[in-house]
Homo-oligomer: A and B are copies of this chain.
Amino acid sequence: MKLRCTICGREYDRPVQRCECGEPVEFELFHGKPYIGKTVWERFYDFWPVEPDPELSLGEGDTPLIRSKLGNELGIKLYLKNETVNPTWSFKDRGTFLAISHAVKEGYKAVGTVSTGNMAASVAAYAAKAGLKAKILVSEEASKEKLKAVSVYGADVIRVKGDYGRLYFKSLKLGERLGVYFMNSDNPLRVEGYKGISFEIAEEITPDYVLIPTSSGGLFRGVAKGFIELFVSGLIDRIPTLVAVQAEGCSPICRAFKEGKERIERFESPKTIAHAIENPYPPSGNAVLKLFREMGGLCVTVSDEEIIKAQAELAREGLFVQPSSATGIAALKKLNLPEGVNVVSILTGSGLKALSTAPLGKVRECSIEKLRECIENNS
């Protein structure tokens, strides 16, 4: 097991969580070939840093890739990678599964995470499955709706007063001392788990662009590493252009990208409806910027208005996603892509996760006696 710092390049023989320089580490590139198998874990067995333990699985991954009509107007072939059908209804489950497999193998009795939404529920669920204790650190602002969806799994939910960004680093340090394996947003095993999204896409189509809602940068890094590994293994001919999408109201990575900087800066007073990607100081921000320099790519911001519109458009195709998951579609119109290209947008989490903030559509009233008129009358 060899890890390398994404920024300074320092190498580690043990599975540290971050480099001494403060930047994220990552596993070296895996090479391999695909096998026949039911799950992505089996088919891409050569590419995981830890043996995926079926006993700890909740059936994550192997999600549908759906052809969308939303690309027709733009003359592109659009596909939606529906991660909302994972066991806790977000892409986080792929990373949590690998990170939990690692924690169990290393003998940890407790795991943790810093999150208020998708990742919190995911870690709580997989810890329950594995019989581990889970310490879930949530922010003061966590809504009752979100806390319910985490506490149901029996996790120890701790609402922490104080700077949420500091909590990321403090939890890692405390975890090391207390024997709690914190699998935060860009944990190296978590990033490896997200590669499965790229593997599954490549099994079905040859994408030219992949749109990735980007917060911590963990998902972006995982998807990038997945395609790079397929390429160096000779399994695909070219690596698609990756597009990081952020909300205008919280876009530290896109701002640095636009200004040609190598380092992100904290985004002050973040504000967006897309709470799941509202990270003002993404821990993998610099690593994502470095990937842009090495492999090209784009960073696009979208407004809350555009996000809400895209969310409605997706629902009109039968896919109800949370606001952050609609950012890829919102970005599409701004990109001016060449005609005929294959584009994939990753739908990261279910709309049911943020139902309390969703608008109530029109509901008509009718008596059973007047039913015929009500059905005929097209509102």
Contact = CB atoms under 8 A, between A and B. Distances in A.
Interface of A: 55, 57-59, 62-67, 82, 84-89, 112, 121, 125-129, 133, 135, 137-138, 144-145, 147-163, 166-167, 170-171, 174-175, 177-178, 180, 312, 315-320, 350-353, 355, 358-369, 371-372, 374-376, 378-379
A176 to B, nearest CB: 12
| 3 closest A-B pairs by CB | A59-B64, A151-B361, A162-B368
Contacts of A170: 368, 371
Nearest to A171: B371
Given A112-B375, A160-B366, A375-B178, A89 B87 contact: no
B154 A361 contact: yes
Given A171-B371, A355-B145, A368-B163, A362 B151 contact: yes
A221 to B, nearest CB: 25
Given A85-B59, A89-B89, A178-B376, A148 B360 contact: yes
Copies held by the complex: 2
A352 B89 contact: yes
Contact of A360 (B64, B121, B147): B147
A161 B365 contact: yes
Nearest to A203: B38
Contact of A157 (B85, B150, B312, B362): B362
Contacts of A87: 64, 82, 84-85, 318-319
Contact of A363 (B89, B147, B372): B147
Given A59-B66, A151-B361, A367 B82 contact: no
10 contacts: A59-B85, A147-B361, A150-B361, A153-B320, A154-B315, A156-B378, A158-B365, A159-B365, A159-B366, A174-B371
A368 B158 contact: no
Contact of A375 (B65, B166, B180): B180
Contacts of A125: 315, 318-320
Nearest to A154: B316
B358 A148 contact: yes
Given A89-B89, A371-B174, A157 B359 contact: no
A372 B152 contact: no
Contacts of A363: 138, 147, 151, 157-159
Contact of A317 (B129, B161, B350, B367): B129
B374 A158 contact: yes
Contacts of A159: 363-366
B361 A152 contact: yes
A72 to B, nearest CB: 12
Contacts of A316: 128, 153-154
A247 to B, nearest CB: 20
Nearest to A39: B64
Contacts of A112: 375
A234 to B, nearest CB: 23
Contact of A63 (B59, B133, B149): B59
Nearest to A65: B59
Contact of A366 (B66, B89, B161): B161
A157 B363 CA distance: 5
B367 A148 contact: no
Contacts of A376: 178
Which residue, A58, A152, A175, has most C-beta atoms of chain B within 10 A?
Answer: A152
